[in-house]
Amino acid sequence: MALAGHVKQVLGLDFCPSGVKVATGSDDNTVRLWDLRKKKSYYTIPAHPNLISSVRYSDCGDFLFSSSYDRSVKVWNLRNFTSIKTLAGHDEKIMRVDVAPGGSMIATASYDRTWKLWAPGSFL
């Protein structure tokens, strides 16, 4: 199945826990949310001022994390598609964000040769 929509390369992808939705992050600075049953994008988030390097759903699927070359991670509420938090602290572009099982922590990895663990109070 080919899903077209981004105008530049896709750099990150994650399946929603339900298995019927996918989030993609792109060099076009957007996150697209896809419904695999309908085979189309149902929402586009103008997420960051620079490319999105990775995306990751929370275990419940209600939140999405996007990392970017703008040196930040944004936390998105997928019920209303709003940014609820921006995490900053790296000195260089962030390459990856990941969520621990149960959402107890998130981890970020950066070109500044560091990785950071973020406690729940810092991102929700």
Domains of the chain by start residue, with CATH:
10-123 (2.130.10.10)
β-strand pairing of 40-46 with 52-57: unpaired
56 CB contacts (<8 Å, ≥6 apart)? 14, 64, 65, 97, 98, 99, 106
Say which residue the tokens 């560091």 belong to.
114
Which of helix, strand or coil describes residue 101?
Answer: helix
Which of 30, 115, 5 is CA-nearest to residue 81? 30
Residue 7 has a pLDDT of 83
Residue 102 has a pLDDT of 85
Residue 61 has a pLDDT of 85
Q: Phi first, then psi: what are they for 67, rounded to 5°?
A: -105, 155
Is pLDDT above 70 for 123? Answer: no
Residue 3 has a pLDDT of 82
What's the predicted TM-score (pTM) here?
Answer: 0.91
**Chain segment 43-71, per-residue pLDDT in tens:** 999 999 999 999 999 988 899 999 999 99
**Chain segment 75-118, per-residue pLDDT in tens:** 999 999 999 999 999 999 999 999 998 888 999 999 999 999 99
